[in-house]
Amino acid sequence: QVSLQKRDGFHMCGGSILNERFILTAAHCVVDGYGIVARPPELFQVRVGSVDRINGGTLVYIKRIIVHENYGNFLNDVALLELMEPLEWTNTIKPIEMADSEVPSGQKVVVSGWGRLTTGGVTPQHLQWNTLKALTSEECDAAIGWGFDSLICLAHTENNGVCNGDSGGPATYQGKLVGVAGFVINGCGTSNPDGYAKVFYHKEWILENMKTSQ
């Protein structure tokens, strides 16, 4: 889990380390407005290896941003950040493996981030965790009318779930990366499930684009 920040240290989004060169985040964290054009990489920095978004770990910089070419309408909300320098693995800086299958319905999925604890609330300085429950596309469609194969929906009780600043961060199941935080319906902490881009669905795109390392 990393913190994607503006150069002044303002925390914007989460992300996940895939290998020493690439970080996976949400497209909406890095695009300009509503298009699919990424903002210049020099506007950002990434804090790795710390649960504190202000201190500790290492600050790294981005060489290139790759946004999914079909991003739009909350779908395909994934982007890769190619780093200037390769990461060095430590106890607190290590990659996460991508899931190679679907998460069975009803299973517990762990999400984390520095997002606000309530709508309009404060942004915590230290990383927060929560356990949500995976839904099938059909169950998600029934709940929020948004059942797409490319999404994984995670259900939670009121006053739980993701919020602003959690976007781009990981959802994990059995220690593997299954989702990238995307959107909430009608504000944070409602009883509506949260929408995550499904890593298993996007795995081929991710692997193909990591090959294009420059």
User: How far from chain centre, in Å, is Cα 211?
Assistant: 21
Tokens of 176: 């593997």
- SS3 of 205, please? helix
Any idea which residue has 């070419």 for tokens? 69
Tokens of 63: 């060489």
E strand or H helix at 112? strand 108-113
Name the residues annotated as catalytic.
Answer: 28, 77, 167
Do the beta carbons of residue 14 and residue 25 sit within 8 Å? Answer: yes
Do the beta carbons of residue 195 and residue 146 sit within 8 Å? Answer: yes
Task: Give one DSSP letter per residue of 140-197, joined into a string.
Answer: HHHHHS---TTEEEEE--TT-S--TT-TT-EEEETTEEEEEEEE-SSSTTSSSPEEEE
Burial, 103: exposed, middle or buried (Cβ in 10 Å; 0-12, 13-18, 19+)? buried
